[in-house]
Amino acid sequence: MSAGPFRPRWIGLFLILVVVVSACTLLGMWQLGVAQDKGRAETVAAASKLQREPLEQVTQPHSAFEADFSNRPVSAVGTYDANGQILVVDRRLDGRAGSWVVTPLRTAEGTIAVLRGFVEGTPGTPPAPPTGTVSILGTLGPGESPRADAAALPQPQRHSIDLAALVNEWPGELYNVVLLASSESADGTPVDPASAGLSRVPPPELPSHLNVRNAAYAIQWWVFGLFAVWMFVKIVRAEWLAQRQPVAPKEEAHA
């Protein structure tokens, strides 16, 4: 009978172990993917249930940006200040390079930065905003940090939506949020952004969580795989130790 670490029974057990551990690993990864997909769907579903509210009922000028403001649906009414428009350069949308068009909207309560859309390239002059009383539907987002190492840009270009800088440039009390416009109407007439060469900028994806049940299933599969490894080591070690035990000599029978 063969002995040592390569005896056929041990090799067979090892091959079974490889199959079991591989299956447990793959099943665990599958359950983790399901947990991520379900968590993302739950986040989107929760966001879709939020009721759209007027901007002034959600926040006030100079108020801090709260954790639950991101992607919050709001409405705002006011007039655009075309003289305060900026172009935020080095942006991309659907593989295209271009700029964001950001326009100050003066409301009854203050001024808010409205991200009206994306324009290809860097035009010398931003597309003119709608005139008259403008009603906007959109979602809230935070301002951006300045780029300290960035070179100076000609007006009206910017590297970021730096609200701390804009508060000194735009008149009125500035909201500490950015409104990502999804629709606009001027004096009751819907505005087509494509007529100005603009494409709407979608809100950023919300951070999602893991579905607890499927995440637990993933952990269970990985624990099963580790248990199989532990059992294999235990069996092999026990047999190896048994083989190392000295065999007592048999006593000869006396006539």
Q: pLDDT tens for residues 155-198?
A: 889 999 999 999 999 988 999 999 999 999 999 899 999 988 99
Picking from 139, 132, 128, the residue whose alpha carbon sits closest to that of residue 183 is 139
Total residues belonging to the chain: 255
Q: How far apart are CA 170 and CA 225, in angstroms?
A: 61
Report the pLDDT averaged over residues 73-84.
94
pLDDT reported for residue 1: 44
Residue 193: both structure tokens together: 């952004």
Per-residue confidence (pLDDT) for residue 149, from 0 to 100: 66
Mean pLDDT is lowest, of 35-39, 42-46, 65-69, 219-223, for 42-46
Can you give the pLDDT at residue 250?
59
Task: Label residue 247 by pLDDT band (50, 70, 90).
Answer: low
pLDDT score, position 210:
76
Quick one: how far is CA 37 from the chain centroid?
13
Q: Is 116 exposed, middle or buried (0-12, 13-18, 19+ CB in 10 A)?
A: buried
Angle, CA of 126, 71 and 138, to the nearest 5°: 45
